[in-house]
C-alpha cells in the first residue's frame, strides 16, 4: 500500500521517515527502504522484493526492442512476467503474451511467467525455477539478434 501511494505521488519517503524515527519503527523503516517506482501492482512489488532479497540482480519495467516492456529482467537476460488472471487470461492478451514470449526466446531471452498463487503461496518454488534458469547462464542462450534494452524509470 505504501508503494502504491508513493507511485501515485500521494506520499514521499521524507514524510514517512519523519514519522518513523522511534526505536520501535525499525521494521517500518525497513519496508520504506524497499519502496521504489516502477511496479504496476502489489504482486510485482512482492516479486521484486523476493528476487532482490535472494541476491538476484533485478531490473523492473525494462523495454526491449521487438518485445516491449517486461515486468522484470533478471541478471540481464531472464525475463520474468507476473500475470494477474483477470488481465492475462483474456483471449487477446493471452495470445499477445505468448507471441511476446516466442519473440523473446527467438532473441535468446528465456521467459518465466508466474501467477499470484506462485508469488504469494510458493515463493521458494518461484526462486527455485528462477535460479535453475539463471544457473544455466546467459551463454546457454544464443543471442545472434540481441535486442537493445531501454531501462524505463517512471
CB 3: neighbour CB atoms within 10 A?
22
Among the ranges 67-71, 90-94, 149-153, which has the highest mean pLDDT value? 67-71
Please report the pLDDT score of residue 67 as a whole number: 94
Q: Is the pLDDT of residue 144 over 80?
A: no
Q: What is the pTM (predicted TM-score) of this model?
A: 0.73
| Residue ranges per structural domain of the chain | 1-35, 38-151
* Residues 120-153: b if buried by 16+ CB within 10 A, e if exposed: eeebeebbeebeebbeeeeeebeeeeebebeeee
Please report the pLDDT score of residue 41 as a whole number: 75
What is the pLDDT averaged over residues 110-128?
Answer: 96
Please report the pLDDT score of residue 154 as a whole number: 43
Q: How far apart are CA 91 and CA 71, in angstroms?
A: 20
The order of strands in the sheet holding 68-74 is 111-115, 78-83, 68-74, 58-64, 149-151
CATH class of 38-151: alpha beta
> In the block, which residue shows the cell 540482480?
57
Residue pair 88/94 in contact by the 8 Å Cβ criterion: yes
Choose the weakest-confidence range: 47-56, 88-97, 134-143, 144-153: 144-153
Q: What is the pLDDT of residues 23-71, one digit of tens each?
A: 777 776 666 556 665 666 788 889 999 999 999 999 998 999 999 999 9
Look at phi and psi of residue 98 and say left if phi exceeds 0, alpha if psi is from -120 to 50, else beta: alpha
Q: How far apart are CA 50 and CA 119, in angstroms?
A: 9
Q: Is the pLDDT of residue 146 over 60?
A: no
Amino acid at each position: 500500500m505504501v508503494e502504491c501511494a508513493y507511485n501515485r505521488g500521494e506520499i514521499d519517503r521524507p514524510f514517512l521517515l519523519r514519522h518513523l524515527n522511534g526505536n520501535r519503527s525499525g521494521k517500518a523503516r525497513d519496508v520504506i527502504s524497499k519502496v521504489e517506482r516502477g511496479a504496476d501492482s502489489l504482486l510485482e512489488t512482492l516479486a521484486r522484493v523476493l528476487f532482490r532479497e535472494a541476491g538476484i540482480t533485478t531490473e523492473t519495467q525494462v523495454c526491449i526492442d521487438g518485445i516491449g516492456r517486461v515486468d522484470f529482467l533478471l541478471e540481464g537476460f531472464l525475463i520474468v512476467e507476473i500475470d494477474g488472471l483477470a488481465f492475462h487470461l483474456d483471449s487477446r492478451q493471452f495470445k499477445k503474451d505468448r507471441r511476446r514470449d516466442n519473440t523473446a526466446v527467438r532473441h535468446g531471452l528465456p521467459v518465466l511467467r508466474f501467477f499470484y498463487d506462485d508469488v504469494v503461496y510458493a515463493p521458494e518454488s518461484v526462486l527455485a525455477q528462477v535460479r535453475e534458469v539463471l544457473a544455466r547462464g546467459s551463454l546457454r542462450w544464443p543471442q545472434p539478434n540481441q535486442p537493445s534494452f531501454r531501462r524505463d524509470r517512471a
